Amino acid sequence: MTLWIAVLVSALGCALLKQLGYVVPARWLRGSRAATAVDVLPVALLSALVAVSTFAAGTRLALDSRAAGLVVAVALVVVRAPFLVVVVAACAVAAGVHAVAG
């Protein structure tokens, strides 16, 4: 399977899944389970994206400056620092570690 076939199949699958959302009965979405899933799903997807982009280098595990930046960002989020402070501090630590580690 070539890359373009995989991209086209994925795009078609996403389009079909989106269209499926329009035909789901409204009563299915009114329940507490559906509301909980809708609230939690974006956080789970974003967390997975962050984890993959932080700890993956191709097909192998990588612990590098990105991981150090993420640790600082999580620590600052836990202490409820402003978003701009979190971003700047994480970037500064990642850049510093990258500069030192080479």
Residue 19 in any domain: the answer is: no
How confident is the model at residue 35, as a pLDDT? 83
pLDDT tens digits along 22-73: 888 888 878 888 888 888 989 999 999 988 888 888 888 888 899 999 999 9
Residue 96 in any domain: the answer is: yes
Range of the domain at 76: 63-102
Residue 46 in any domain: the answer is: no
Residue 81 in any domain: the answer is: yes
Residue 74 in any domain: the answer is: yes
Residue 3 in any domain: the answer is: no
- Say how far apart CA 48 and CA 24 lie, in whole Å: 26
Is the model's pLDDT at 91 over the cut of 90? yes
Contact predicate 60/31, CB 8 Å? no
Residue 98 in any domain: the answer is: yes
DSSP three-state, residue 64: coil
- Say how far apart CA 14 and CA 81 lie, in whole Å: 36
- Say how far apart CA 102 and CA 54 lie, in whole Å: 17
- CB neighbours of 34 closer than 8 A, spacing ≥ 6? 28
Residue 12 in any domain: the answer is: no
Domains: count for the chain: 1
